[in-house]
Structure 1
Amino acid sequence: MEGGSFTLRTGFTERQGNQYIEWRFGSSRTLLTRIKSGNITSTSNTVFKDRLQLDRQTGDLTLTNINNEHTGVYELNDDANKDLKFIVTVYAPVPVPVITRYSPQCSSSSSSSGFKSVLLCSVVNVSNVTLSWYKGNSLLSSINVSDFRISLSLPLEVEYQDINTYSCVINNPVSTQTRHLDIDQLCQTCSDCDYYWSQTAEAVIRLVVSAVVGVAAVAAVVVLVYDIRSRRAGLEWKVH
């Protein structure tokens, strides 16, 4: 983990006499440190400066205060033709994920059981991680990213009155963080669904009332016209 340390071991319990040992790094085989004739020589490379500790007795190499720049291949060589390679990956500790509501989704049903909300579990500036939603101990969905430091978000649709336990988990090989979903807070955040439905119901009622009034007005006009025509017809019959 970043900020920690690791030790690469030669397998020797003790160097023999003036045994020569050297450590190199990366595809360019940059010399890190060597011990020869009892003298230790270390690299001036700023990535490794003041981080290398070579054990005189065994030749073991320890790196301290490590970060992602120390990820790579380390190679041990000695005058006994011993050739060892170590593949090291340094991981950052994962951040605590954040759960936010993306949008309420009110269904066509006016009952509260029909209200849903889409949640987002998000993390920023991460690499080599897996982000997952769990329902209890069951995995619902997950997404992972490898080398690049990016922001990740994973959606989850939850019922308004869902009583299940949900959690969002982020992990890499060295650390894990979990954020549990508080369903009570979720219910509170869906109050705008209630507002939506109250406003919609009020609008529908107004529309229905307007339609009824309109139909009544049209019916009154029809009756009035019919009455006038009937009276005119009666007068014409009397005249004849």
Structure 2
Amino acid sequence: MFHRLWFCLWHLVGVFSDDKLKTVIVMEDDSFTLNSDLTEMRDDDQIHWRFGKYLLAEINKRTDSMTVYDDVLDGRFRNRLKLNNQTGSLTITNIKMKHGGFYTVENLNTSVIFMLIVYDEVTSVSVKEGDSVTLNSDLTEIMDDDQILWLFGSENTIIAEINLINDSICDDVLDGRFRDRLKLDNQTGSLTITNITTQHTGAYILINGAKPSLKAFRVSVYYSVHCCDSVEAVIRLVVTALVGVAAAAAVIVLVYDIRARRAEMDL
């Protein structure tokens, strides 16, 4: 079942245009809103939300009714659905792995499919600004049927991919923040970010549509602290102070010696 879901997921991306299929990747226990893309429902609007073939929620402005069916599928959605009566958007709270799948919103004019992917493990990576970091796919070799997709940020922007036809870097997205900084290993699917900056802080998602599998990384970038320079400066100050004290002591001894010699001569 899960394998078929991913197979359909991957091929639906090629079937529907971006405005008909939207990918949503959410961490387990988070909440997320599936937007109807309506700013305000009209008096004659009707909205239906479905999970697979099951009706989850509906709004009928003609009858001024709003209903949530959260007891379907053994109650997996119970007390987790919030329906916006103004826009028709649907919020799922405290998301679990079992909530992953295909959601459809239908109104009088159109329908949109949401592909909700839920993950439960995140690898935290901390890297110094200006350094490079490699996000490992954990694959030793990409097989002929592997389909690798790297996504970045809350909008799940595609930044790199390997498929049956070719491998490509999409580094001109997001105002070019990744331009000339990405290296994709076409043997393993691992992704390297070079000369990293704080702009590259965020979530990175690796999807292998053929396995199926998903890996999530949370990358944080910190500023370089020139501790060695600071320590060196302190050492120099200490040495200077010690030299100064030694010099002052030598002068005192010299003055005392001169005074002693003069006293002896006066005798």
Note whether the superposition's TM-score is higher than 0.5.
no
Higher strand content, 1 or 2: 1
| Bigger RCO of structures 1 and 2 (CA < 8 A, at least 6 apart) | 2
The alignment's TM-score, normalised by the length of structure 2, stands at 0.37
Higher radius of gyration, 1 or 2: 1
